[in-house]
């Protein structure tokens, strides 16, 4: 097991009726900004429950945070924070709203120039933030209990290499300027939520597609921390496997029976545990599938889970030799597949993973979204732009390998 430090300061309030307790978690004299996405939290009563808990407090609202929260919208919220002298943020929504709130909390206190540098610096330089908590309404990203966020920016003028599809030529390429979308991540311990309310009842009105997104998202978060190479971190491996097995059981049940409280509760806790730092402590981590997936979202508008359902099987297939030991363990412990022919066992595990994603309604090939082979160099060019030239658990996933993964996913 690798050395590690682990601390998670987020207080979790789990279960029915816990929204009523937020008044005890927010200072009584706070000037509160409630941040949310569309109108679903109003329609399903979650906003009303939050306001009831904060009756008599100084509260204003900011809605309209998009899926893949956009920088321009978030900066509008930052302006409100400054104008209204907000001292506490309350995010009500899924991962996008919570990620956006993390950025707002940091950008409102940022004094080092353009707040977009928070993304380009991967969160370095954040010293102070507006304190915040959250009420989760969509189990998926785990943002409610971690220090990570992913932010998009539309119509940004950027310079890209004129991709040729051969990594050996990337360094010598002429650059060209174009309007493009960017999707970047940042991390900083300052943006852990102070508290997170996880009430499964808030998720009952979600469309099945969003539940499916959450299941795939959580499953892939676990895989990125698990499917690397063995370091004898036996407890973390078992934790990771238990989350995946629970997603295959209660996740599917929750997808099929949306009003089953127990399965929805287990799904919600799985999604949180998948990315709160616990299973990733003391183990190598990959995240190359996420890096490639972010570019697919930015360039083609695919949902996050859609990109992962495409890229992860390709990653497994292309990198099966370096991931062999853990792939065999994954096949045995998660899918119950064993045999003397190790290549066949690995392929069967990949096939089971694909079938799992497809059972939730996800396509697992780029062609389903009309993305063609000739567009793959453009994806590699954006990876290069964002410095993703040696990613993965060994730092050996080059642009050529990224292209190979994408071709495998065609």
Please answer whether residues 305 and 362 qualify as being in contact, where contact means their C-beta atoms are separated by less than 8 angstroms: yes
Please answer whether residues 109 and 132 qualify as being in contact, where contact means their C-beta atoms are separated by less than 8 angstroms: no
Q: Can you give the pLDDT at residue 181?
A: 80
End position of a domain, from candidates 163, 198, 233 = 198
How far is it, in rounded angstroms, from Cα 301 to Cα 181? 9
How far is it, in rounded angstroms, from Cα 58 to Cα 60? 7
Coil vs helix vs strand at 150 = strand
| Helices 208-226, 304-318: inter-axial angle, 10-degree rounding | 30
Q: Can you give the pLDDT at residue 168?
A: 45
Q: Can you give the pLDDT at residue 159?
A: 53
Compute the chain's Rg from CA coordinates: 21
Q: From 87, 197, 210, select the one nearest 133 (Cα to Cα).
A: 197
What rounded mean pLDDT belongs to the chain?
A: 93
Q: Once rounded to an integer, what is the mean pLDDT over residues 34-49? A: 94
End-to-end CA distance of the chain: 36
The answer to whether residue 92 scores a pLDDT higher than 50 is yes
Q: Can you give the pLDDT at residue 388?
A: 87
Q: What is the pLDDT of residues 186-233, one digit of tens each?
A: 999 999 999 999 999 999 999 999 999 999 999 999 999 999 999 999
Q: String of b and e for 173-205 (b: at least 16 CB within 10 Å)?
A: eeeeeeebbbbbbbebebbbbebbbbbbbbbeb
Q: What is the pLDDT of residues 125-168, one digit of tens each?
A: 999 999 999 999 999 999 999 999 999 998 665 555 554 444 44
Please answer whether residues 25 and 81 qualify as being in contact, where contact means their C-beta atoms are separated by less than 8 angstroms: no
Q: Are residues 22 and 141 in the same domain?
A: yes
- Alpha-helical segments (H) within 154-303: 208-226, 234-246, 252-256, 261-274, 288-300
E strand spans, 68-212: 88-93, 132-136, 148-161, 175-187, 195-198
Q: What is the pLDDT of residues 246-287, one digit of tens each?
A: 999 999 999 999 999 999 999 999 999 999 999 999 999 999
Q: Once rounded to an integer, what is the mean pLDDT over residues 329-343? A: 98
Q: Are residues 19 and 166 in the same domain?
A: yes
Q: Can you give the pLDDT at residue 385?
A: 86
**Residue 246 sits in a domain of what CATH number?**
1.20.1090.10
The answer to whether residue 344 scores a pLDDT higher than 60 is yes
Full domain range(s) for residue 37 = 11-198
Q: Can you give the pLDDT at residue 180?
A: 58
Q: String of b and e for 231-250 (b: at least 16 CB within 10 Å)?
A: eebeebbebbbbbbebbbeb
CA distance to 105, 137, 153, 192, 406, per residue, from 98 (Å):
10, 10, 16, 10, 30
182 pLDDT band (50/70/90 cuts)?
Answer: confident
**Tally of structural domains, the chain:** 2
By residue count, the chain amounts to: 410
End position of a domain, from candidates 198, 220, 245 = 198
**Residue 90 sits in a domain of what CATH number?**
3.40.50.1970
The residue behind tokens 């009430």 is 199
Q: Are residues 176 and 300 in the same domain?
A: no
The residue behind tokens 């030239």 is 389
| Residue 155 domain flag | yes
Q: Once rounded to an integer, what is the mean pLDDT over residues 350-375? A: 96
pTM summary value: 0.91
How far is it, in rounded angstroms, from Cα 135 to Cα 303? 22
Q: Once rounded to an integer, what is the mean pLDDT over residues 367-383? A: 93
Q: Are residues 311 and 373 in the same domain?
A: yes
The residue behind tokens 């302006």 is 79
Q: Are residues 262 and 312 in the same domain?
A: yes
Strands 148-161 and 175-187, by their bridges, are antiparallel
Q: Are residues 33 and 55 in the same domain?
A: yes
The residue behind tokens 């390429």 is 173
């Amino acid at each position: 097991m690798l050395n590690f430090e682990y601390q998670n300061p987020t207080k979790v309030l789990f279960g029915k009726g816990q929204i009523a307790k937020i008044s005890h978690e927010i200072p009584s004299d706070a000037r509160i900004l409630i941040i949310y996405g569309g109108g679903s939290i109003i329609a399903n009563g979650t906003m009303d429950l939050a306001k009831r808990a904060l009756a008599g407090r100084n509260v204003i609202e900011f809605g309209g945070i998009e899926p893949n929260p956009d920088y321009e919208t978030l900066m509008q919220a930052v302006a409100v924070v400054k104008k209204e002298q907000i001292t506490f943020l309350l995010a009500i929504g899924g991962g996008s709203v919570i990620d956006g709130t993390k950025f707002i909390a940091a950008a409102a206190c940022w004094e080092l120039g353009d707040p977009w540098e928070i993304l380009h610096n991967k969160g370095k330089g954040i010293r102070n933030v507006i304190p915040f908590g959250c009420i989760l309404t969509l189990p998926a990203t785990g943002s409610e209990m971690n220090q990570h966020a992913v932010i998009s920016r539309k119509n940004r003028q950027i310079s890209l290499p004129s991709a040729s599809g051969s990594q050996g030529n990337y360094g010598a390429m002429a650059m060209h300027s174009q309007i493009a979308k960017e999707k970047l991540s940042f991390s900083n311990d300052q943006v852990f939520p102070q508290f997170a309310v996880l009430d499964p009842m808030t998720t009952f009105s979600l469309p099945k597609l969003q539940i499916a997104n959450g299941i795939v998202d959580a499953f892939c978060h676990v895989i990125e921390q698990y499917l690397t190479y063995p370091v004898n971190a036996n407890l973390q491996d078992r934790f990771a496997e238990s989350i995946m097995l629970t997603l295959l059981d209660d996740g599917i049940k929750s997808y099929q029976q949306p009003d089953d409280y127990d399965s929805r509760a287990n799904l919600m806790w799985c999604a949180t545990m998948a990315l709160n730092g616990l299973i990733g402590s003391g183990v190598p981590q990959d995240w190359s599938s996420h890096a490639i997936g972010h570019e697919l979202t930015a360039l083609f508008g695919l949902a996050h889970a859609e990109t992962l359902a495409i890229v992860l099987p390709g990653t497994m297939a292309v990198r099966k030799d370096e991931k062999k030991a853990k792939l065999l363990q994954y096949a045995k412990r998660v899918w119950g597949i064993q045999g003397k022919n190790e290549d066949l066992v690995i392929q069967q595990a990949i096939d089971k993973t694909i079938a799992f994603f497809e059972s939730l309604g996800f396509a697992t090939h780029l062609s389903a979204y009309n993305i063609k082979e000739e567009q793959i160099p453009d994806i590699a060019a954006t990876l290069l732009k964002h410095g993703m030239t040696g990613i993965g658990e060994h730092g050996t996933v080059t642009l050529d390998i990224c292209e190979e993964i994408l071709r495998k996913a065609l």
